[in-house]
Amino acid sequence: MPRADPATLVRRRTLLGAVPAAALLAAGGCGTEDNALTFFFQARPQEALVRLRIIEEFRKRHPDIGIRTIMSGPDPLQQMLTYCAGGKCPDVLMAWELLYAGLADRGVLLDLNTLLDRDPGYAAALRADSYPALYDTFGYAGGQYALPEQWSGVFLYYNREYFAEAGITPPARWPDAWSYAEFLDAARALTGRARSGRTRWGFVDAWVPYFSAACFGRNNGAEWFTPPVNPTRSNLGDPRFAEGFQFYADLAVRHCVAPSAAETLSVSAPDLFRSGRAAMALGGHWLYAEFAGHDDLALDVTVLPVGPHGGQGAVTAVGSTGLAIAADSPRIEQAWEFVKFATGPVGQEIIAASGLFVPVLGSAMRSPGFAAAHRGIGNLEVFTDGPAHSRPLPVTPIWGKISALLERGGNRVLRGAADAASLHGRVAADIDALLDPS
């Protein structure tokens, strides 16, 4: 199983095809003058074009502010640190929930509260239209280091034809989540032979497996870390978390309704689902455009299952990116105007209508453009209510070190070499020592 460090996670979510920087700059609407804002981001080709549309609309309203785009490579954190160490930090930076705390801790990012406090009316309106889980994800150590720009979450894509043939109706809303037992029964019923004669899996995972297993743990009534932002301890030793993590692992190693890690080396989970060799695929909204473009795939979405110790309804991961401003930018005022525009009503409506992102403002989520962009989805509330049922991934400046420990210990469980209760030992102790050295 490949290493799921922060850069790998970013690549899996956003970099399914690189956009040459020269091609993006030549696409129009971007200023090239020396005093132009520089905007650093990572995107697939279609996503990059959406960002260019936002830039174009911004330039219509602010013709005096030029914008020069800088495309990220496969390791955005290292690239940003290199730029900033060399005194060429971009003015506006895309911020990932798992990466931004390290930059904030190094003083690279501006605390946006310094700008929000100057305009309490705007700040209040923004908070009223925002989803608290998304907005607060970018609040670290008392500062607000980015404003969210899109939500991806994680949920289950499913093939309506396969479910209809099996007589299964999955839940359509987060509060009406199915139980672990109901989910397992469905996965068993859906596992069999595809029309091609090859194995059809009931479930495949198109995300990072140990992250997915942790989501199952959270849906059994236990948070992964406490608190989620700037945590001081893990909850790997909580029996509820271990039970949920183990349930996920057993889908492959015990129940055989999902492929093993070795079986996915030759074909990816998205390819299995897209080709009809899987009935369900766990992933985020970043996969929607990839799946929706296939007329022979009867696509819909449903929510994650809830364990016996879970609460009312299911929860998902935030999976958000935001926009930040470099602390040493000489163009903070211009950068602030662009960040407000891109994360505000006009920018968010462009995002909503694209079908490539889920907006972070309630007003944009309710816009006709968002519904039109997801016309084929029957269970649209899985998207529209997803942000309200989100919980952040762990936000800490030392996430890279913690991730390495979690992956090593978690993958032993996912391979069937250990049970989830083993995470309570050395793995949990080593992680807690990193989080609270005292």
pLDDT in tens, 114-126: 999 999 999 999 9
Q: Are strands 155-159 and 299-302 parallel, antiparallel or unpaired?
A: antiparallel
Rounded Cα–Cα distance for residues 159 and 189 (Å):
13
CB 434 within 8 A of CB 398: yes
Burial of 53 (0-12, 13-18, 19+ CB in 10 A): middle
Residue 334: the pLDDT is: 97
Share of residues in the chain with pLDDT > 90 (%): 81
The continuous run of DSSP H or E covering 189 comes out as helix 180-190
Tens of pLDDT, residue by residue over 62-97, are 999 999 999 988 888 888 888 888 888 999 999 999
Which residue ranges form the domains of the chain, and what is each CATH number?
A: 6-152+318-391 (3.40.190.10), 155-317+398-435 (3.40.190.10)
Tens of pLDDT, residue by residue over 393-422, are 999 999 999 999 999 999 999 999 999 999
Dihedral pair phi/psi, residue 31, rounded to 5°: -70, 145
Rounded Cα–Cα distance for residues 207 and 299 (Å):
18
0.85 exceeded by the pTM? yes
Within 8 A by CB and 6+ apart from 209, the residues are 1, 4, 261, 410, 411, 414
**Pairwise pLDDT comparison (311 vs 226), residue with the higher score:** 226
Amino acid of residue 227: P
- Outline where DSSP puts E strands in 252-398: 280-283, 299-302, 316-317, 320-325, 390-391
- pLDDT category of residue 33 using cuts at 50, 70 and 90: low
Rounded Cα–Cα distance for residues 305 and 66 (Å):
47
CB 223 within 8 A of CB 425: no
Residue 315: count of CB within 10 angstroms of its CB: 22
Tens of pLDDT, residue by residue over 253-311, are 999 999 988 888 778 999 999 999 999 999 999 999 999 978 889 999 999 999 999 98
Question: Could you report how far apart the first and last alpha carbons of the chain are, in Å?
Answer: 34
For residue 34, is pLDDT > 70?
no
Q: Helices in 15-99 by DSSP H: which ranges?
A: 21-25, 45-61, 76-85
Q: In this structure, what token pair is assigned to residue 332? A: 């903070």
- pLDDT category of residue 224 using cuts at 50, 70 and 90: very high
Q: In this structure, what token pair is assigned to residue 191? A: 């596992």
Tens of pLDDT, residue by residue over 326-377, are 999 999 999 999 999 999 999 999 999 999 999 999 999 999 999 999 999 9
Exposure b/e, 208-217, CB count within 10 A at least 16 = b: bbbbbbbbbb
CB 409 within 8 A of CB 14: no
